[in-house]
Amino acid sequence: MNGNAAAPPASSLVIFARILAIVSGVLVVGGLIWQGIDFALGVLLGCGIVGLNFWWTRRVIAKALRGDHAKARLWISFLAKFGFTVVILFVAILHLNINPVGILVGVSSLVVTGFAFAFVRFGQ
């Protein structure tokens, strides 16, 4: 293989995941500097939920496109993901007293990543 050959372009999902990781890191560090550790923990949880849901959804869709899942199993997987997210948020806010505004900032990483992805992918 030629050392001067260009690397194959990264897929959109890989680019989106990388941007999501960068945005999440910036939000967590920014939350730590701006409001302190309690707020940063909320941001980290929100970003973690977004990252986990992205990974889980990507996995389920890949299986569906390969034909590995029946329609009912896809719905069960979707509902399990939703239920898991609700339970985590419930426990975090009510029992662990994680900052809910921090969680919202973390969850907003998805929106910020969407804008950044559009700019990177289509603004060239």
Give 56-90 as a DSSP string: HHHHHHHHHHHT-S-HHHHHHHHHHHHHHHHHHHH
Distance CA 70, CA 75 (A): 9
pLDDT in tens, 97-111: 899 999 999 999 999
- Write down the pTM of the prediction: 0.80
Rounded to whole angstroms, the Cα distance separating 101 from 92 reads: 12
The pLDDT tens digits for 61-90 are 777 777 766 777 777 888 888 899 999 999
pLDDT classification of 29: cutoffs 50, 70, 90: very high
As a whole number, the mean pLDDT across the chain is: 86
pLDDT at 9: 57
Q: What is the model's pLDDT at position 76?
A: 83
Write phi, then psi, for 75 (nearest 5 degrees): -65, -40
